[in-house]
Structure 1
Amino acid sequence: MKQLILGLILIFSITVSVAQPQIVFDNKNHDFGTFEEETGPVTHDFQFVNSGNEPLVLQNVRSTCGCTVPKYTREPIAPGDSGSIKVTYNPKGRPGKFSKPIYITTNASGDRETLHIKGVVIGSKSRRATNPYKIGTLSLRSLHIPLFDTPKGHVKEGHLFVRNEGKTELVPTFKNVPSHISVEMIPAVLHPDEEGLIKIYYDPDVVDDWGFRRDEFDLGLDNGSSNDFNTVTVSANLLDDFSILSPEQRQNAGHIELSSNVIDFGIIKGNTAKKQTLKITNTGKSRLTIHKVANENRSLNIKLKRNTLNPGKTTELVIEADPSMARNNLLNSRLMVITDDPERPSVPIRVLGSFE
């Protein structure tokens, strides 16, 4: 009797476990490929079969955004019968690559099913923004990445937006990148009409320099012609990291004071160089370090007698104007004194005059 009861329980368990619906798809993924935004909504039917032995009910079919709309039957699907889920994607206002999941819940046992659609939309020309710079079919909003103040001790990030305006994939490449800059393309491959960005990482500790600085690297295209390249400029103002200082430390730091912020040579006649001197004083409570006197005018020669000053001490900055090196008759230049003064890390000096 006991064996008979156990046998009936086993048969009942097998019957319960076998009696269930089962959804099986022909394919759970569909690639629409590349198509124009003006094409309008695109649709794909995902075919499936109920391979179980009980009616199958699609309880819920949903997507993650309003651009993807699934349609399906709510009637039970008998064992052995087939059905479909129609998925429509609307590309309006959505240029570039897309990938969308569709989640399906049924009365079958197990986890929910997931379908995927993907493709690349070429944006409408009527609303497409025009980037002023071109490298082949790669367009750029700018050829300059400004980093502004870049404190030592930290890697500074910057970026530049680009877009593929062609009908084939592009792989941007980078050459002659300075050692203190690393560059990556996100994404690495740009699909037609897809926008990406060139991201840079700037390490100011690798370069032995201070103040305003320009660097360059070449941007080109993989398998592009020799003319498919351009130069991207990166600018940064390299300073000490003053964010780590407390208010008391800032107050007790070294502080710079100039005897004048303007040097006027007046009229310089002939080819004889003229010199003028201004004084730099540390009015603070700690030692002041003068990292650099930045000068981009080749007709000016700069000589700083000391680059470290104890509190209360003064040094001289000698500025020489050389007519033989002048590119034109007018002298109107700016020097920048770069220091570790947290209140005035960059102090300008205007240099004026004319050559006859």
Structure 2
Amino acid sequence: MRTVIIWMFILLSVSSLMAQKAFSQKELDAVLNPVLVEHAEEMLRFERMEINAGTLSEDDKPQVFAFICTNIGTEKVVVTKITTTCGCTNAQIDSPIINPGEKAMIRLTYNPFGQPGTIYTRAFVYASISEKRPVAALTILGKVTPSAALWKDYRYTMGHLKIRAKTLNMGTVTSTMRKVERIACANAGSAPLKIGAVKGFLPEFLSLRTEPEVLEPAQEGFLIVELDGKKLFEQKGQKSFSILLDGISGRPSDRTIKISMDIK
């Protein structure tokens, strides 16, 4: 297999240039989203221009996606380079010279490690007819979930919420206190999480929220439980409350935390 010249770090180059000069949107688009050669579809016909990789994990090995094209023109096409918009992706072509009627395969290898979140990576195929405009733009879409190693310190899973403890002892509390306790948590999913407590399960002297209020994918934070002693009224002694969390999936028993305290 013959490897065509690959520009692996195009985005880093653009960032470096931007630090030296203020580029217009048109100039940036020329690099990151170049306009195709006119009538490019009359030269190379791809079986598909876009592949959905589905959901990958950072722990997965690099994935290879094949794009097959056919020279449907009357002249040979010589692929001179393939650029990619992310260092996580590299490209190879089995034969850069494609004669009329012949097929060629372009392989894009995507490495999900260090890329949690949405996949949107592109490759631009250039030929000898134009060094400035590509003849094709290939796209890989999908999602990458964070590495399991990232969550090793979180013992419990509630839907996509990772949490270090399911019990919280607030110690001794009185009617003159305002007390705040925290449980470390993280969003192991691919969508934002906004966590609260199901109404009817949270005593009026307790409030529950996360910090930050919305946990973005792969973001760590805290589950905040706050006690307002003025609302304890006549309650005394050892108390325990089961709080059902809202905003995550799972059976009630799988998304419940237990809060205990000694009310004086």
Query: Taking structure 2 as the reference length, what is the TM-score of the superposition?
Result: 0.48
Rg larger in structure: 1
Compare relative contact order (CA 8 Å, sep 6+) and give the higher one, 1 or 2.
Answer: 2
